[in-house]
Amino acid sequence: MSIILEGKNIKKNFNNKNVLNNISFSINKGELTSIIGPSGCGKTTLLRILIGLEKADEGSIILEGNDITNTHPSKRKMGIVFQNYSLFENMNVLENVSYPLRNATKITKEESNAKALDLLKMVGLEDSKTKYPAELSGGQRQRVAIVRTLALNPEIILFDEPMSALDANIRLSLQKEIKDLQKRIKTTMIYITHDVEEAFLLSDKIMILNEGVIQQLDSPVNIYNNPANEFVKNFVNGHINNKIQSLKESVLNV
Ligand SMILES: Nc1ncnc2c1ncn2[C@@H]1O[C@H](COP(=O)(O)OP(=O)(O)OP(=O)(O)O)[C@@H](O)[C@H]1O
Ligand SMILES: [Mg+2]
């Protein structure tokens, strides 16, 4: 397994508050790595630094052996999918995927439309190609957003809580699709979620952050069996116990 992305001693302060404290990690090529941790622990800040929307105060980012710490976001070969879809509302589904592709690569409209249609087929949206975003469900909109990012052939796709606006059933089917897609295309993915269960379901590796420090970066099974410290143990078990408790209350009435 080769390393695709490294963070080295990344530090970030906001208003004299230490948000990321000496973060160092490696991400393996072709794996899906989730980032979990309490609200405000620095997940989004780390993602924004990796893609170049935010500058770290110290430290470096290495992509496939090249230092990209000061590289423009558009040259980092990374794509990002946000929580709020951010589709072009005035373009139909096909154009939402085809237009950015054409813009980035200067291929013809026919070529970009053909590639966009192939990708839409992968997520079952070919019949919706002439619909506008307003006519789609939340899950469909997020599929378009994912496919639009995929079209640009990024080395890494970053997700910042892509499911949090969706209801439970849609989340479940989209989670499965993302996992299948990831297995099929083998693009490296970094996936922020506040849902511990989702992280365990989807991930090859999970990074657990707390107060700007990586507590553990390991496979789900190792994290569960060998939590690195009390925080990890309580964070993971707390979520699992809450889940069992709410299941008991809502389904079993106990
Ligand atoms: N642009 C900014 N200016 C000032 N403070 C910021 C800025 N962006 C983030 N912060 C602060 O940095 C800390 C980490 O924020 P971040 O958004 O990275 O957390 P998070 O882990 O993504 O949280 P959540 O789970 O709620 O999305 C928070 O205390 C936040 O208020
Ligand atoms: Mg966040």
Q: pLDDT tens digits for 73-127?
A: 989 999 999 887 689 999 999 999 999 999 988 899 999 999 999 999 988 899 9
- Determine if ligand 1 sits within 6 Å of the CB of residue 23: no
What dihedral do alpha carbons 209, 78, 11, 225 form, nearest 10°? 20
pTM score: 0.91
pLDDT over 90 percentage in the chain = 73
**80-117: b (≥16 Cβ within 10 Å) or e:** bbbbebebeeeebbbbbbbbbbbeeeeeeeeebbebbb
More confident residue, 149 or 86: 149
Count Cα atoms within 13 angstroms, Cβ side, for 83. Answer: 10
What angle do helix axes 93-105 and 109-122 make, rounded to 10 degrees?
A: 130
Tell how far the Cα of 45 is from the centroid of ligand 2, in angstroms: 7
* % of the chain with per-residue pLDDT over 70: 99
| Lowest mean pLDDT, pick from 22-36, 107-121, 175-189 | 175-189
Task: Give residue 254's pLDDT.
Answer: 66
What average pLDDT is seen over the chain? 92
Least confident of 24-28, 225-229, 231-235, 236-240: 236-240
Region 216-234: what's the mean pLDDT?
95
pLDDT at 180: 86
Smallest Cα–Cα separation from 104: which of 139, 64, 67, 73?
A: 73
Predicted local confidence at residue 33, as pLDDT:
97
pLDDT in tens, 161-170: 988 888 888 8
Q: How confident is residue 243, by pLDDT bands cut at 50, 70 and 90?
A: confident
Greater confidence (68 vs 171) lies with 68
The set of residues, in sequence order, having a beta carbon less than 8 Å from that of 90 and lying 6+ positions away, is 132
What's the average model confidence in pLDDT over 205-233?
A: 96
**CB 133 near ligand 1, within 6 Å:** no
| Single-letter code of the amino acid located at 101 | L
- From the CA of 115, how far away is ligand 1's center (Å)? 37
Nearest CA to ligand 1 atom 4: 14
pLDDT for 165 equals: 80
